[in-house]
Amino acid sequence: MPTGKQVSVDQYSGSTADQDRSSMDLTASKPVSETSRQYTTELLSIENVSLSFGGVQAVTDISFNIMEGEVRAIIGPNGAGKTSLLNIINGFYHPQEGVINFRGKQRRRMKPYQAAASGIARTFQNVALFKGMSTLDNIMSGRSLKMHRGFLWQVIHLGPARNEEIQHRRRVEEIIDFLEIAHIRKQPVGRLPYGLQKRVELGRAMAMEPELLLLDEPMAGMNLEEKEDMSRFIIDLNSEFGTTIALIEHDMGVVMDLADRVVVLDYGKKIADGTPTEVQASQEVIDAYLGVAH
Amino acid sequence: MFYREAGQFKTSYAADQALLPIRQDRIGLGLILLVAFVAVPLLASDFFIGSIMIPFLVFTLAAVGLNILTGYAGQLSLGTGAFMGVGAYACYKLTTYFPDINILFMVLLSGIFSAAVGVVFGLPSLRIKGLYLAITTLAAQFFLEWCFIRIGWLYNYNDSGAIEVPQRKLFDIAITGASASPTVRYLVIVSLVALMTLVAANVLRGRIGRSWMMIRDMDIAAELMGVRPLYAKLSAFAFSSYYCGVAGALMVFFWIGSAEAEAFDINHSLLVLFMVIIGGMGSLLGCFMGAAFIWILPIAIRAVPQMLGLDVIAATTEHVSNIIIGVLIIFFLIVEPHGLARLWQIGKEKLRTWPFPYSSN
């Protein structure tokens, strides 16, 4: 039975596999037991985090952790503070109180690009693709942090700069194959239907080879078939490449099937945390979703 | 049917990522370069070269500069004229201090000064966007223009207040100054413009160009992919201003020969901005089309009555041509708000699918 540690050594995630990346095959499958997964290493932990905007308390004293290799769902009614929480992890918002530990180290106050450099990728609730660019360029943009050739090489665009471009193109093509979007490779993403845009956005985040992937409502507004496709990509991403995933989603069927553990928020407070079955049984969660008789 | 890539298979990513992946495009570009470098210098009259081609190329280069900033990096600027002025004055100062150093080197060096000034006036872009940023670049425009008038050191305390281009030679041939022939000046400019357009295309398709487009399309997502807004925006300002600066130096040294501060006023900035908008934001081809539309078309229209042998007063042709240009601008912007380059692209797609109305992809 694979432990979380072993999963993290998988080629796709983690800094341990840097040398192997060029030869890596995204379609190679590594069997991971679905039934009883155990995680031993803590990837991210949030301790007593509070965030307020003026008088509005967005997030109040929340603590939870994300283990390496798991799928962690964050759910809650509208306005519960889920997206704010992702924005805190991303470095967009800076909590007034609390501590964030990432990979065992306490994280200082950081900017979003620093969070990206530390291995956190993200997709957005409203698709935030680069609309003027093609699918290929959008996914290539996810490789930005991994490309290093300087300005003068870019100017002549020969030798090392071109090789770097081609080497990353190869990786991007693997992602395109994985997500089955080869037919829209050269199309401007602004013209694509919504479901495909969401998929391209996932590809863009995958291209960063993140250790922690934050998905903000990846299935919002999708039909059943698109949801099933997206679920399959998320499962494959997690089980084949060991990418740790934190997921916000309103479709409870999807959450209960995909997530290893679920944290439930309501009015900025944590009201439940545990496996899907535990959370489903919690009276507080039922009250939050269905309301309480007064 | 007439223009399609049927049978042209790409077997490597390198071939697929080439600047012109389609054979017809490569042939077309080859023909254009042949005309530009061989046919025009050999066959065209001095008037055509000096009053049409040289200004067209100078404006093209300035438009490339502005398009990098506005079309690719999404930062609106109204200071193009002033940045061109910085290049021109820097080149003048450099060549009067060091008369023995090759003028072409000085032209390329003067762009660096313009780039530095561009970075300084690009700093507000880190905080403000869109039209508000345009207003702050307007401040650059007026401040720099004031400098060109008030700081005598910039024009060596000339009585006329203008910078006058001294004669400079390359391989013993005069390339600047009154005795330089238009053909020689044209060859210098067309070489530089071709080279710098290639450089721009290279930078734009690589990591740096992509980071500019990321900032343009969705700055929040760009930051999350690891792009630092500070670097991306300021490098766009620097790169763009470099092009404007070189264009300004070329304008004074290889086209008009002497210039006062008024040559770089707000009208000049607007002219370049119109070229970018008409040609197409985010397209290098559009810079050439826009510059041709704004600069060459009026001259062509004014030449029509003469060719037809009509006896019309000069002022009338002037007015009529203004009216026609205005109408054409409105017409093209209604037909295709994304500019002539997009119109051209749509035309190519139509040719590709002809005789069918649409293609399967």
In this structure, are residues B186 and B41 in contact, taking their beta carbons and an 8 Å threshold?
yes
State which residue of chain B sits closest to A162, comparing Cα positions.
Answer: B14
In this structure, are residues A279 and A264 in contact, taking their beta carbons and an 8 Å threshold?
yes
Look at residue B302 and tell me if it is in a domain.
no
Please tell me whether residue A123 adopts helix, strand or coil conformation.
Answer: strand
Complex-level ipTM? 0.83
Closest CA to B184 of B196, B199, B171, B201: B171
Look at residue B12 and tell me if it is in a domain.
no
Look at residue B268 and tell me if it is in a domain.
no
Look at residue B270 and tell me if it is in a domain.
no
Give Cβ neighbours of residue A113 (< 8 Å, ≥ 6 apart): B223, B224, B226, B227, B228
- Position B359 scores a pLDDT of 60
Of A117, A155, A169, the CB nearest to B199: A155
- Domains of chain A, by residue range, sit at 4-119+210-290, 132-207
What gap in Å lies between CA A158 and CA A238, rounded to an integer?
Answer: 37
Q: Give per-residue pLDDT as tens, A150-202.
A: 788 888 878 888 888 888 999 999 999 999 999 898 888 988 988 899 999 99
Q: Give per-residue pLDDT as tens, A217-251.
A: 999 888 899 999 999 999 999 988 889 999 999 88
Look at residue B70 and tell me if it is in a domain.
yes
- The C-alpha of A111 sits at a distance from chain B's nearest C-alpha, in angstroms, of 9
Look at residue B33 and tell me if it is in a domain.
yes
Q: How many other C-beta atoms lie within 10 A of the C-beta of residue A293?
A: 5
| Count: domains in chain B | 1
- Position A6 scores a pLDDT of 40
Is omega for the bond preceding A276 within 30 degrees of 0, making it cis? no
Look at residue B14 and tell me if it is in a domain.
no
DSSP for B206-231, written as a single string: SHHHHHHHHHHH-HHHHHHTT--HHH
Q: How many other C-beta atoms lie within 10 A of the C-beta of residue A119?
A: 20
Residue B144 Cα distances to B156, B239, B304, angstroms:
17, 19, 39
End-to-end CA distance of chain A: 49
Of chain A residues 120-179, which have a CB less than 8 A from chain B? Answer: 121-122, 124, 128-133, 137, 140-142, 144-145, 147, 149, 151, 154-157, 161-162, 165-166, 169-170, 173
What gap in Å lies between CA B194 and CA B173, rounded to an integer?
Answer: 21
DSSP A134: B
B111 has pLDDT over 90: yes
Q: Give per-residue pLDDT as tens, B118-154.
A: 999 988 888 888 888 888 899 989 999 899 888 878 8
- The C-alpha of B207 sits at a distance from chain A's nearest C-alpha, in angstroms, of 7
The CATH class that applies to domain A4-119+210-290 reads alpha beta
What gap in Å lies between CA A211 and CA A43, rounded to an integer?
Answer: 8
DSSP for B57-115, written as a single string: HHHHHHHHHHHIIIIIS----S-HHHHHHHHHHHHHHHHHH-TTS-HHHHHHHHHHHHH
Give the domain range for residue B53: 23-261
Look at residue B178 and tell me if it is in a domain.
yes
Q: What is the 3-state secondary structure (H, E, C) of A243-275?
A: CEEEEECCCHHHHHHHCCEEEEEECCEEEEEEC
- Position A41 scores a pLDDT of 85
Average pLDDT in the B272-294 region?
A: 90
What gap in Å lies between CA B107 and CA A145, rounded to an integer?
Answer: 34
Query: B96: burial class by Cβ within 10 Å (0-12, 13-18, 19+)?
Result: middle
Return per-residue pLDDT of chain A as tens, 294 residues: 444 434 333 334 434 344 444 444 444 444 444 445 678 888 899 999 999 988 888 888 999 989 999 999 999 888 888 889 999 998 889 999 888 998 888 888 888 888 899 999 999 988 899 998 999 999 999 988 888 887 888 888 788 888 888 889 999 999 999 999 998 988 889 889 888 999 999 999 999 999 999 999 999 888 899 999 999 999 999 988 889 999 999 888 888 889 999 999 988 888 889 898 888 888 888 888 887 777
Contacts of B206 in chain A (CB under 8 A): 149, 154, 157, 161, 165
